[in-house]
Amino acid sequence: MKARLKLALMLSATLLNSCRTAERAPFSSLLHNPDAPELNQRAPERFDVRLETSRGDLVIEVHRDWAPRGADRFYNLVRAGYYDGGRFFRVIRGRWAQFGINGDPKISSLWRERTFPDDPRVESNLRGTIAFAFAVPNGRATQVFINLRDNSATHDPESFAPFGRVIAGMEIADALNAEYGESSGGGIRGGKQAPLFELGNAWLDRHFPRLDYIKRATVTDRAAQKGTGRGIRRACSCLPFGKVSRQIMAVNH
């Protein structure tokens, strides 16, 4: 019985991964076309994003009412796979962890200019919140950072607008490799990010090989996280709900 259950779980995981890949493929191909309607959808009022990183997983709870434009951009980029493979290229221990430059120079350079209007700041830059980085007004595009401490004293006056917060795995964010500091790209305002946009991950891997990275970022089904049958069905909607899935459902209930 245990052997059959283990096999069923393995098959279910394989099918689910195949499902996610199949669902994402049409979106990822659109990253070369930022004007595509599929990449300009309104985000749900609240949703979770799971970052599967080289250190472990963390979950971000996004609140659209905190920063609607930022939430919409993050939602569409995650769904399209923009952040997959991206490096945490600016990690300052106990201060912040920044990411958001795609590893393919053709894609990152294209989105670099796709800025959106500023959101008024609603929430403070407390520990665990996430916001878009920018250098000039209305200059936010794809780069975001996680506040590793309460940065409200410095970041709130500059109008960094949090759009979400880490609700699980904050210890993973704290543990991200910070050995390279500002030298592996730095912030937008530092003016040293050109190699990341011109040469991509190949350059980072050559000069900063121990950077942590995002294996995959996904918008997760909140119902599925609660373990409801409805959530499981929705997560696997592209697959026939066959014998293996029924076995897993029986175990879960």
Question: Band of the pLDDT at 146, cuts 50, 70, 90?
Answer: very high
Model pTM score: 0.80
Strand partners, 216: 52
Is pLDDT of 3 > 60?
no
Place of tokens 């209007």: 117
Phi, psi (rounded to 5 degrees) for 59: -120, 130
What is the C-alpha separation between 149 and 128, in angstroms, rounded? 7
Is pLDDT of 243 > 60?
no
What is the C-alpha separation between 55 and 171, in angstroms, rounded? 10
Joined together, the tokens standing for residue 73 give 């951009």
Look at residue 75 and give its three-state secondary structure: helix
Sequence-separated (6 or more) residues with CB below 8 Å from residue 120: 159, 161
Task: Note the CATH number of domain 33-220.
Answer: 2.40.100.10
Q: Which residue has the higher pLDDT, 22 or 47?
A: 47
pLDDT at 220: 87
Look at residue 49 and give its three-state secondary structure: strand
For 28, how many CA atoms within 13 A lie in the half-sphere containing its CB?
16
